[in-house]
Structure 1
Amino acid sequence: MTAIRHMTYQPVGGDAGAVETMTFDRLRELNDGGTQRADFHVLAVVDAGRGSVTVDFLRHPLGERSAVWVAPGAVHRWDDIAGVAGHVVLFTPAAPVTHATRELVASPDRVARWRVPDADWPFVDAARRHLLLEASAPPSDRVPELPEILLSALLTRLRPPYGGAGTMNPTFQLFRSSVEAHFRKHHDAAYYARALGYAPRTLSRAVRQVTGRTAKAYIVDRIVLEARRLLAHDRLTAAGCARALGFPDASNFSVFFLNATGVRPGAWQARAAADRRRA
């Protein structure tokens, strides 16, 4: 099993622009079949063909008029894209220019893959073509902010679905953002209630309303996801995961992981390695 490839946003030609585009043909040239983790967003729009992509251990089919959004920090692998046609847009978290699209890129609740409705496709396609046209302009004719404006238009037209109703619940939004920022150090729901100024019952009710889970379960799920990333792709030991995720020692982390997943970290890591070899 090869180690994860960490990618930093580096536009072609040293251009300082926050948005870059490429075709699936170019992606195939660059893709080595390995697992990647990027510090930027990866957005793909598929015109035709079939394939698949794995994002955070879940495999998603690619097909005509489907879209994929991989957020920074998510591990992903292009499993089968030999027959896929379309475009990929790479952009930094700060690239979108509207309030709504900045909130959209900051949300962890988007689904990773969805099919664009037929009624929306002409608008998505037009927004994409305009972005591609502007991105292809010669350096002397480029207007720096236009790709970011056109990216925002494309994101708005794509309308990615959400896995939950978090955008409708400001209490949950605050909790989610706080967990994302602090889950490596704070594992207790009571900490987030105090930090956000809510009574524990109020916070728990808001989280359950959106996710169907308790605040504690939400935190556990987030820690487990990061632990799986570290075990499977960074190939850390239980001791390394404990240090990275704020546990006092390897034993404490191992008990946590076993209780949450039903399997010990080493066994899960071995299983992930076997699955990767078969893929």
Structure 2
Amino acid sequence: MVENGLVSVIRHMTYQPAGRRAAAVETMTFDRLRALNGGGTQRADFHVLAVVDAGQGAVTVDFLHHPLKERSGVWIPPGAVHRWDDIAGVAGHLVLFVPTAPVTQATRELVASPDLAAHWSVPDADWPFVDMARDHLLLETSAPPENAPAELSRILLSALIARLRPPHARAPSPHPVFPLFRSSVEAHFRQHHEAGYYARTLGYAPRTLSRAVQQATGRTAKAYIVDRIVLEAKRLLAHDRLTAARCAATLGFPDASNFSVFFRKATGMRPGAWQAAATVE
């Protein structure tokens, strides 16, 4: 894990495991994280999966604060802005891995989901299995590179993810349309802001799409798209320090004025004011 850019206290992290060039999975302790972490905000191009053994602390992921506690998990996906707010008394391990690292279909689909919970408690009945899966992965990643076949760490990562069973922030929809819509929005929200585009692309009537999204999220399809654009705008404003004009260009708006009206309507603040407040925090 290396820092490749620094603006104020914002760090952009690129996956590069030290001494293990071909490794898709890296592990570290919270002690090591404390030594590396300066208390600033980060945005990474890899997944961060943490297993908290003991202690209390906090992490902020995409502007939401999550208290940490013993026997819990943390999931920070690529692109999410995050800050370890209070980890002085936290014990456990972190697993850093590239999006393509999991090897089973189920864990690949889970990792690709854009709405996993950032923090959850591990049930007592599951903890011994999680602990054992984590220890096996730690042992494998500690082996000398010449004695560590690359696929073993991927297999053990998949086993740990399967045992941790990270939940979705929202209950999965029983309607087959919503997962397709969610994936399409994730791929195209920068270019397409209208629900009608997704209905046409997926081959469903707008009313069918609206019903599926409402059933899964309690929001309209349009509101879901707006929320996704706003989240990315906040990331760009707070952590890439883009101007309103550059955000507009990145997110498919015709100009800065149009983007500013959209952002203010959605958040109640102008982009510049929100950026200043986020920087102070």
Question: Paired residue for 1:66, among 38, 48, 72?
Answer: 72
Q: Which residue is equivalent to 1:164?
A: 170
**Cα pair 1:65 1:116 within 8 Å, conserved:** yes
Describe the SS at the equivalent of 1:118.
Answer: coil
Spell out structure 1 runs of 4+ moving beyond 2 A. 165-170
SS in 1 for 2:166: coil
Structure-1 residue corresponding to 2:242: 236
Cα distance in 2, alignment partners of residues 69 and 34 from structure 1: 18
In the TM superposition, residue 140 of structure 1 has moved relative to its aligned partner by 2.6
Please say if 1:2 is aligned against 2:8.
yes
Asked if 1 retains the 8 angstrom alpha-carbon contact of 2:43 and 2:239, the reply is no
The residue number in structure 2 matching 1:88 is: 94
Bigger shift: residues 245-254 or 2-11: 2-11
Residue 183 of structure 2 corresponds to residue 177 of structure 1: yes
Corresponding residue of 2:29: 23
Give the deviation of 1:14 after TM superposition: 4.2
* Post-superposition offset of 1:110: 1.1
* Structure-1 separation of matches of 2:86 and 2:266: 31
**Which amino acid counterpart does residue 146 of structure 1 have in structure 2?**
L
One of 50, 65, 75 as aligned partner of 1:44: 50
Corresponding pairs, count = 275
Where does the alignment leave 5 or more consecutive residues of structure 2 unmatched? 1-6
For 1:126-205, list aligned pairs within 5 A: 126-166=132-172, 168-205=174-211
- Deviation (angstroms), 1:83: 1.2
Q: Secondary structure of 1:204's partner?
A: helix
Residue identity opposite 1:127 in structure 2:
A
Q: Deviations over 1:62-93 (max 9, x none)?
A: 11111100000000111111111100000111
Partner of 1:262: 268
* RMSD between superposed Cα atoms in Å: 1.2
TM value normalised by structure 1:
0.96
Quick one: structure 1 residues 145 and 96, their matched pair in 2 at CA, closer, same or farther if it must change by over 3 Å? same
Deviations 1:78-121 (A, max 9, x none): 11111111000001111001000001001112110011111110
CA contact (8 A) 1:3 1:235 kept: no
Name the residue aligned to 1:76: 82
1:84-123 paired onto structure 2 within 5 Å: 84-123=90-129
Q: Read off the aligned partner of 1:223 and give its amino acid letter.
A: I
Question: Where do 5+ consecutive residues of structure 1 fail to align?
Answer: none
Aligned to 2:60: 54
Q: Map 1:214-253; keep pairs closer than 5 Å.
A: 214-253=220-259
Indicate how the Cα distance of structure 1 residues 138 and 27 shifts in structure 2: closer, same or farther if over 3 A, else same: same
What is the SS of the residue equivalent to 1:145?
helix
Report SS of the residue matched to 2:100.
coil
Once residues 249 and 118 of structure 2 are traced to their aligned partners in structure 1, the CA distance between those partners, rounded to angstroms, is 29
The whole-number CA distance in structure 1 between the counterparts of 2:9 and 2:193 is 28
TM-score (norm 2): 0.95
Q: What letter corresponds to residue 13 of structure 1 in structure 2?
A: G
